[in-house]
């Protein structure tokens, strides 16, 4: 169980802030695994808590396809001396229900159902900052 510490954007209309009590690091046969969700990865004290628990495989799911994301998770791998697995959302406009017409007024050219909304970029980074797999922008 993990309660997100920092709900972002519209998530705040439904969920409140977590208190950090659900930031476990699990001992497994392949190493100690922990996770932070999306914007939580930009919280130094949250990461420090994970490092203090001995995280070896740090999972960082997100919907942030900006180039700076890979730099951020590379920093996390180096800072924590851990592997970072970042699953990054890939989706096209057709993956969402149709929005009311007024939402895209003046942006009709962007309504192609195959247009990419979030371009992915899933990647695995080693503790030394080396890209082991990815980034994947293929969907």
Domain locations in the chain? 9-90+119-134
More confident of the two residues 80 and 96: 80
Rg (CA), the chain: 17
Q: Averaged over 25-41, what is the pLDDT?
A: 90
pLDDT per position as a tens digit, 96-134: 887 777 666 666 666 777 877 778 888 999 999 999 998
- Other Cβ atoms less than 10 A from the Cβ of 27: the count is 11
Q: What is the pLDDT of residue 137?
A: 77
Percent of the chain with pLDDT over 70: 76
Q: Averaged over 64-80, what is the pLDDT?
A: 90
Q: What is the pLDDT of residue 76?
A: 95
Looking at domain 9-90+119-134, which of 3.60.110.10, 3.30.70.100, 3.90.1150.10, 1.10.1840.10 is its CATH number?
3.60.110.10
Residues 6+ apart with CB under 8 A from 54: 25, 32
Report whether pLDDT(69) > 70: yes
Q: What is the pLDDT of residue 83?
A: 98
To the question of pTM greater than 0.75 for the whole model, the response is yes
Burial (0-12, 13-18, 19+ Cβ within 10 Å), 30: exposed
Confidence of residue 23 (pLDDT cuts 50, 70, 90): confident
């Amino acid at each position: 169980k993990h309660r997100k510490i920092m709900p972002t954007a519209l998530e705040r209309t439904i969920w409140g802030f977590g208190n950090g009590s659900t930031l476990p690091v699990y001992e497994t046969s392949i190493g100690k695994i922990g996770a932070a969700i999306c914007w939580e990865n930009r919280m130094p004290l949250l990461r420090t808590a994970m490092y203090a628990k001995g995280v070896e495989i740090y999972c960082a799911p997100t919907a942030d396809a900006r180039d700076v994301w890979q730099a951020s998770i590379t920093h996390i791998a180096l800072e924590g001396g851990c592997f970072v697995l970042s699953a990054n959302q890939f989706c096209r406009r057709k993956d969402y229900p149709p929005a009311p017409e007024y939402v895209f007024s003046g942006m009709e050219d962007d309504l192609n159902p195959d247009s990419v909304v979030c371009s992915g970029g899933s990647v695995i980074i080693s503790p030394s900052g080396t890209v082991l797999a990815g980034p994947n922008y293929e969907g």
